[in-house]
Amino acid sequence: MPLTYWCEHAWLPEGVTGGVLVEIEGERIARVTRGEPGGAERLAGLTVPGLANAHSHAFHRALRGVTQTGLGDFWTWRDQMYEVAARLDPDAYLALARAVYAEMALAGITCVGEFHYLHHGPDGRPYDDPNVMGHALIQAAREAGLRIALLDACYLTGGFGQPLSGAQIRFGDGDSERWAARAEALAAAYRGRHDVEIGVAVHSVRAVPPEHVPVVAEFSHRHAAPLHAHVSEQVAENAACVEMYAATPVQILNEHGALGPRSTAVHATHLTEVDLELLGRSGTHVCMCPTTERDLADGIGPARALFDRGAPVTLGSDSHAVIDLFEEARGVELDERLASHRRGHWRAAELLTAATSTGHTSLGFPDAGMLVPGAWADLVSVRLDSVRTAGAGATAEALVYAATAADVHSVISGGRRVVSDGRHVLGDVGAMLAEAIGRLR
């Protein structure tokens, strides 16, 4: 039976419109029209397409509020992250990821790009099913009501010219050919599952030597699958890369076939003019993660310059210091204000597009993130009468500069009701998170 929702206000391709009827058949939007509510279910406030979190490491959520004591930088934070990675098994990962993805759903996220490199057992040996950790993540997303692009990461070295050590041995497959064999098995297991996209990732140029990058790129080309990579997150990483290869990370990825419209450079914080040109000219997506860059003191990436050169911009919550894509969206603008001492780099509609249709496209779901017939039936309704949004009006600006994840009151994902009145169908997500994280302490 078709379902019809009446949106008090809806953000359509032409802008915000009042009194919009959205008819859903199965997992897709069948019709979008103007009209009176009649017997349709009412969605108060402003309804937007589902949000896409283009960069996630689910297990990093266990670090929120824990890594804030004392001094340090990215590298000291990484040591604490490895301690959590060392303690996870498939059951614990399923429980944690399910709770994290439910938290995302509460924030209006209907699709996640999970950058997955925690593959094997604590001693580095594969589980009986070498992809059991990936299966746990996919199961978690489905149970929480999200589509998932599982971006299986190739991870071979512990740094430039260094072997894997400590918790890193769980990440590696030995070489790119063995990684590819495992990734092929994972892709085969989900072939035809339209709510799951098996993509790939070059963890970083420090973890994947240049001669192995083409194997990852070839997988992406053969399967028409997303290819993501951490790029130039740290100044120290760039310096070490140039010293080793006389090239920047972006130049290495470009030389080995890993840039292009299906690719996404995550972070892209410390770039040269050549890097900007290569990313823009190739149409490579760039995923900005402002709350993580802020938390780890990484820096401010040149998002507007990349966008103006032709690189589509997406958003991610990365380490989950915060899970709130409205905060990520405004962070892109506000951080550029801090760097430039002026306001008005981005229109609110551009930032909402980054959080919706562009993000979905970068994850292999180009038919999502829009309230149009034929698109995935993802509807996210945001209150306009909360203490944050009251008086701001039904505008894109109200969402980007006033709303938070706490203002999301209803989420329909793929035609399925996932959040009602701010509560997830799985129950108390806070309790789920506390239990799952408590198992790792």
What whole-number distance in Å separates Cα of residue 217 and Cα of residue 62? 31
Whether 218 has a pLDDT exceeding 90, the answer reads yes
Q: Which of 94, 76, 179 is nearest to 143 (CA)?
A: 94
Cβ proximity of 115 and 201 under 8 Å: yes
What whole-number distance in Å separates Cα of residue 86 and Cα of residue 345? 42
Q: How would you classify the pairing of strands 423-424 and 15-25?
A: unpaired
- With cut-offs at 50, 70 and 90, classify the pLDDT of residue 80: confident
Compute how many other C-beta atoms are within 10 angstroms of the C-beta atom of residue 125: 10
What confidence tens digit (pLDDT) does each residue in 305-364 have?
A: 999 999 999 999 999 999 999 999 999 999 999 999 999 999 999 999 999 999 999 999
Q: Which of 3, 2, 14, 1 is nearest to 371 (CA)?
A: 14
Structure tokens at 203: 């963890």
DSSP for 324-336, written as a single string:
-HHHHHHHHHHHH
What confidence tens digit (pLDDT) does each residue in 276-314 have?
A: 999 999 999 999 999 999 999 999 999 999 999 999 999
| Averaged pLDDT, 216-238 | 97
pLDDT of residue 293: 95
What whole-number distance in Å separates Cα of residue 351 and Cα of residue 68? 29
- With cut-offs at 50, 70 and 90, classify the pLDDT of residue 71: low
pLDDT of residue 368: 98
| Averaged pLDDT, 272-279 | 98
What whole-number distance in Å separates Cα of residue 297 and Cα of residue 284? 25
- With cut-offs at 50, 70 and 90, classify the pLDDT of residue 67: confident
- With cut-offs at 50, 70 and 90, classify the pLDDT of residue 68: confident
Residue with tokens 């997406």: 314
Structure tokens at 175: 């070489």
Structure tokens at 117: 């490199």
| Averaged pLDDT, 361-371 | 98
Mean of per-residue pLDDT scores for the chain: 96
Strand order in the sheet with 196-202: 51-56, 109-116, 147-154, 196-202, 227-231, 263-267, 285-288, 313-315
* C-alpha separations of 295 from 240, 320, 321, 405 in Å: 23, 10, 7, 18
Q: To 5 degrees, how large is the angle CA 349–CA 323–CA 298?
A: 85
Amino acid at 94: L
Buried b (16+ CB within 10 A) or exposed e, 275-286: bbebbbebebbb
Q: Which of 342, 348, 357 is nearest to 312 (CA)?
A: 357
What confidence tens digit (pLDDT) does each residue in 182-199 have?
A: 999 999 999 999 999 999
What is the chain's length?
441
Cβ proximity of 155 and 208 under 8 Å: yes
Buried b (16+ CB within 10 A) or exposed e, 409-437: bbbbbbbeebbeeeebebeebeebbeebb
Task: Say what angle helices 213-223 and 176-189 make with each other, to 10 degrees.
Answer: 20
What whole-number distance in Å separates Cα of residue 21 and Cα of residue 410? 16
Sign (positive or negative) of CA dihedral 228, 234, 236, 239: positive
What confidence tens digit (pLDDT) does each residue in 127-180 have?
A: 999 999 999 999 999 999 999 999 999 999 999 999 999 999 999 999 999 999
Buried b (16+ CB within 10 A) or exposed e, 194-212: ebbbbbbbbbbbbbbbbeb
**Where are the extended beta strands (E) located within 122-240?**
147-154, 196-202, 227-231
Compute how many other C-beta atoms are within 10 angstroms of the C-beta atom of residue 2: 10
Q: Which of 170, 79, 87 is nearest to 440 (CA)?
A: 87
Per cent of the chain over pLDDT 70 is 99
What whole-number distance in Å separates Cα of residue 199 and Cα of residue 440? 28
Amino acid at 382: V
Which residue numbers are catalytic? 267, 318
pLDDT of residue 50: 98
What whole-number distance in Å separates Cα of residue 167 and Cα of residue 121? 10
Whether 53 has a pLDDT exceeding 90, the answer reads yes
pLDDT of residue 225: 98
* C-alpha separations of 157 from 50, 168, 208, 258 in Å: 37, 8, 6, 18
